[in-house]
Amino acid sequence: MTVSAAEVKELRERTGLGMMECKNALVESGGDMDKAIEWLRKRAGAKVEKKAGRIAAEGRISAYLSGDRKIAAVVEVNSETDFVAKEDGFVAFAEAVAACIAHNDPKDVSALLDLPLQAGKSGSVRQSCETLIARLGEKISVRRFLRYTSRSGKLDSYVHAGARIGVLVELEGGDDTLAHDMAMQVAATRPDYLTTADVPAEVVAKEKEILMEQARDSGKPAEIIEKMVAGRLNKFLSELTLLGKPFVKDQDVSVEKLLKSVGARVIRFCRYEVGEGMEKKSTDFAAEVIAQAKGS
């Protein structure tokens, strides 16, 4: 089959491998990007990291934390440009939406849009958003949100990197400082799961298959290969989890050991990043200007 230069370029960006390797992988996998990455790992033994999707859409993450740390909310509000995402009215809207979620517990985005943005004041979230759109001249939307409540533990929120990353964490035991450290840990290290037990069986099976394929080329006895694969698989699973990662403030201690040392545990966490999993339309501004000039 024929693969496009754009597809080869994307695979190169995602794997860091050579052009011909990426082209061959796409041909062998029928143009399927994920299968091409898997093919490269099996055939070349390449350490390929799949990105969570291009971060393309603009906007901001806002979070709300109640004074007693029992209610928290995080929301992603999108805009077309980074310039609008930093505009005071947009920032205020996003923060008000986070508070609205915390106070009202809407079941989904549609229900949220119908709620009053601020208690005791006229104007729904939807109407306030439409007013903002009319004033700023860009498409603005509430994409997703999450709300936590806690009875036995404490909650913390953290927003980082120009409001492009937001985190909620629920901690049992420990103190407010530890809860905030865990929120910062999640923001910085981007764990996929809390513990190795949370990793889906299909993810484990797929990684083991890849590791076995790589190890067979070593020429070592089967029992040695099994031990090699087990060790590498454990390392892989550990790197996916919050508990398995080194603590950002002390790289010699894992998060799991830190929590055990103070009798605390993370119950759950979430991490939002602006635009993850979304694609932003690429615009050739020079071509656009030329086209407009020709049409005038």
Domain boundaries, the chain: 1-51, 58-189+265-273
User: How far apart are alpha carbons 73 and 148 in whole angstroms?
Assistant: 6
* Predicted pLDDT at 49: 39
Q: What is 58-189+265-273's CATH topology?
A: Tetrahydropterin Synthase; Chain A (3.30.479)
Q: Can you tell me the mean pLDDT for 1-18?
A: 78
Which run of H or of E encompasses 170? Answer: strand 165-172
Radius of gyration of the chain (CA): 23
Q: Place 280 in a pLDDT band, splitting at 50, 70 and 90.
A: low
* Predicted pLDDT at 110: 95
Who wins on pLDDT, 100 or 135?
Answer: 100
Q: What is 1-51's CATH topology?
A: Helicase, Ruva Protein; domain 3 (1.10.8)
Q: Would the pLDDT of 50 be above 60?
A: no
Who wins on pLDDT, 94 or 17?
Answer: 94
Give CA separation, 168 vs 88, 96, 158, 179, 296, in Å: 24, 17, 7, 10, 52
3-state secondary structure of 247: strand
* Predicted pLDDT at 289: 43
* Predicted pLDDT at 15: 62
